[in-house]
Amino acid sequence: TRSSAVTGVQTCALPICGELYTYSDITLKLYGSFIARLCTEGKNLAYMIMEQSVKMYGYESLDQAEEHA
């Protein structure tokens, strides 16, 4: 059930936690599978999002963006 899928979210300070309450059970399962797959591939979703964001601002990498910070 949704409540068991998001146990402890009430104590989470991250905006995504509140957003998870709006997801259907199917979406939560798919999202969980996606995150698990990324973990097995050694990838980090937060890093991937930051990397894509800096590229949209014209930087070639996170390192380059940090050099200009």
Global pTM value: 0.63
- Per-residue confidence (pLDDT) for residue 1, from 0 to 100: 43
Cβ pair 50, 39 in contact under 8 A: no
pLDDT tens digits, 34-56: 999 999 999 999 999 999 999 99
Per residue in 3-38, pLDDT (tens digit) is: 444 554 455 556 667 788 888 999 999 999 999 999
Map tokens 């980090």 to a residue: 44
| Secondary structure, 3-state, 25-38 | HHHHHHHHHHHHHH
Single-letter residue type at 36? A
